Homo-oligomer: A and B are copies of this chain.
Amino acid sequence: MKAAEITEGTQERTPLSRERVLRCAVEIADVEGIGALTMRSLALALGVKPMSLYYYVANKGVILDAIVDMVFSEIELPSIDGHWQAEMRARGIAMRQALRRHPWAIGLLESRTSPGTATLRHHDATLGVLRQAGFSVALTAHAYALLDSYIYGFALQEAALPFNGPDTASEITAPIVELFSSGEYPHLVEIATEHVLKPGYDFGDEFEIGLNVILTALAQWLPRAENHGPQH
């Protein structure tokens, strides 16, 4: 046994790679938040010294760009062969789930403006489905802006909420209720007490409701033959 093997100890040293660096970066951001993702914490998690990372990555910025692109790569591409409404619904749901798994990606979208290949592929496939469905170029642009705005915005709201998933711990609701007891904000109180704070409520359920509204409205833009909505 050589000395090198001893100093390395029990920890088998996987040889590090750009892949491994980026994967680990996503994991840290998921578990401890994007704020905890530093070059030093990343290196530590990889069992390596900080400066070693710069062999695989020019700077932290490209890590951020790359992990945003990895989020997009988790979203299954819509198929140009399926029905556009079904494909767009599935895409929306998958996209929201991905952004829920990686909420930090939403904030990065605003600051990092150089999309990666997975992002471009995703956009291209989505546009293709809309064009194939019969939307004109202009209507495709309108529809896409509408759909993506909704999806991003919903994910953003979801990320900003203090509660997640069905039911809510009372240690969360109590201070909210107390804050509202001032008498201002009567409508917020109404919505909260009669809807949001009711047992079983899950804000996430609102997503498909709004998505269906949009998809139904978009169907009205199509020529009658392809339009499945209830229209004149």
Complex Cα distance A159/B107, Å? 11
Closest residue of B by beta carbon distance from A188: B124
A145 to B205 alpha-carbon distance, docked (Å)? 11
Query: What is the CA–CA distance of A144 and B112 in the complex, to the nearest angstrom?
Result: 28
CA of A148 to CA of B160, assembled, Å: 13
**Chain B residues within an 8 Å CB radius of A217:** 213-214, 216-217
Chain A interface, >50% SS class = helix
A137-B195, A209-B142, A210-B149 in contact; A160/B121 too (CB < 8 A)? no
21 pairs from A and B in contact (CB 8 Å cutoff): A106-B156, A107-B107, A107-B111, A121-B185, A123-B185, A128-B186, A128-B187, A137-B191, A138-B195, A141-B191, A141-B196, A142-B210, A145-B206, A146-B210, A149-B149, A149-B151, A150-B153, A152-B156, A152-B157, A213-B214, A214-B217
Interfacial residues, chain A to chain B (CB-CB below 8 A): 35, 103-104, 106-107, 109-113, 120-121, 123-125, 127-128, 131, 137-138, 140-142, 144-146, 148-154, 156-157, 159-162, 184-188, 190-191, 194-196, 203, 206, 209-210, 213-214, 216-218, 230, 232
